[in-house]
Structure 1
Amino acid sequence: MSIRIERAHARDLTKVKRLWKAMIGDYQQLSDGLWEVREPGEAWARRHQQYLDWINDAGGVVFLALDTDTEEIIGYAALHFVLSGATFDLGESYGEIETLAVLPTERGRGVGAALINACRRELDRREVEYMALETLASNTGALRLYERAGFQPFMVRLVRRVNDDES
């Protein structure tokens, strides 16, 4: 199998809906009931609108990974350009990989790495020095991929329910 990475247009976004929904299903399993995950349709409606906004206002890009034999979309990455905060000097802006989704049958074949590299090249072209991403702490497969791609732990996000009396 050979992979081709293409930049998505707004009209292409509905083609990644099934990948998004599969990722939401993964999150439901990985969160093991500890964290509420939105219903896939609602989650998609929210994210789809963000993708449209990013593409239309040049606030981000979406890359598609296609199997060159079948022309099937087997993965995608959404890269959002974020203004740097006040504390850490990450340049004027940095790239946040908001979504990296690969069909379960295609994982371990270099699709995720190819998408990360496409994001890296886009940021390099724009002279953006840093990129970041988040995943669930329990998503060990994704964490291995990200570490192999050179990502390092930076900040730790801790979450709790406000009305949880157990603490």
Structure 2
Amino acid sequence: MTKPRTGASGVLRFRYLGPYEIEELADLWRALHRQHTAIAPHLEDLITSVDVDESWRRRRARYLEWLDDPDTLAVVAERGGTDVGYAMVTIRQDHQGSWDRGERVAVVQTLSVHPDSRGTGIGSGLLDEIRRQVCEMGIRDLELAAVATNADAIRFYEEQGFRPFVTTMVSRIGSGPHD
């Protein structure tokens, strides 16, 4: 299914992928991986980054697992016949207990926009398309994670209506100052 959206740089179209088309996401994932490793040098002593090809191998396997669920969305944004971004969205049962978020929550596992296309409406177009789809599924909450030092992404998500909810802290066990 393709849905058009007009933007400053032409028509933005959305396609939904199945597992057999997952390789189409490889280059966009690799660009996102490079960005993540560049913006998180504060984590180098804590989390060991893998090379870009190993990163894609691992993410590809995870995507294929997620796509076993018929509610998972793999949405590609294309402009002028070129893939310029994508989103991978899973649906999970919500058992938070402290907050009523409905029975199911949509989780943006990946939102990737090609570096040359950032700031051209691709990310907001993908989020609008995702919101439309998950709303039709009766889901009212959409969540995502952002690398803490990615101020541009966090600012963008806040402009899109997201608010901080949970902060994930990471600690290495067994190798560090607290051994």
TM norm. shorter chain > 0.5: yes
3-state SS of 1:122 partner: helix
| 2:14 corresponds to 1:5 | yes
C-alpha RMSD of matched pairs (Å): 1.6
Partner of residue 152 from structure 2, selected from 132, 141, 150: 141
Distance (Å, rounded) in 2 between the aligned partners of 1:13 and 1:86: 31
Question: Which sits farther off after the overlay, 38-47 or 129-138?
Answer: 38-47
Does 2:164 align with 1:153? yes
Partner Cα distance (1:119, 1:59) in 2:
12
Deviations 1:122-150 (A, max 9, x none): 11010001010001011111111111110
Query: Which range moves more in the overlay, 26-35 or 99-108?
Result: 26-35
Structure 2 residue aligned with 1:127: 138
Bigger shift: residues 104-113 or 141-150: 141-150
TM-score normalised by L of structure 2 = 0.86
User: Deviations along 1:26-46, whole A, 9 cap, x unmatched?
Assistant: 111111152422222222122
Distance, in Å, in 1 between the alignment partners of 2:73 and 2:59 is 13
Please give the per-residue CA displacement for 1:144-165, whole angstroms capped at 9, x wherever unaligned.
Answer: 1111110000011111222321
Identity %: 27
Any unmatched runs of 5+ in structure 1?
none
Equivalent of residue 104 in structure 2, options 65, 84, 93: 93
Amino acid at match of 1:3: L
Matched, 1:164 2:176: yes
Q: How far off its partner does 1:56 sit?
A: 2.9
Question: In the alignment, which of 64, 88, 92 is matched to residue 52 of structure 1?
Answer: 64
Query: Are the aligned partners of 1:7 and 1:61 in contact in 2 as well (CA < 8 Å)?
Result: yes
1:74 corresponds in structure 2 to 84
> In the alignment, residue 83 of structure 1 is paired with which amino acid?
Q
Q: State the number of aligned residues.
A: 165
Q: Say which of 21, 39, 42 aligns to 1:30.
A: 39
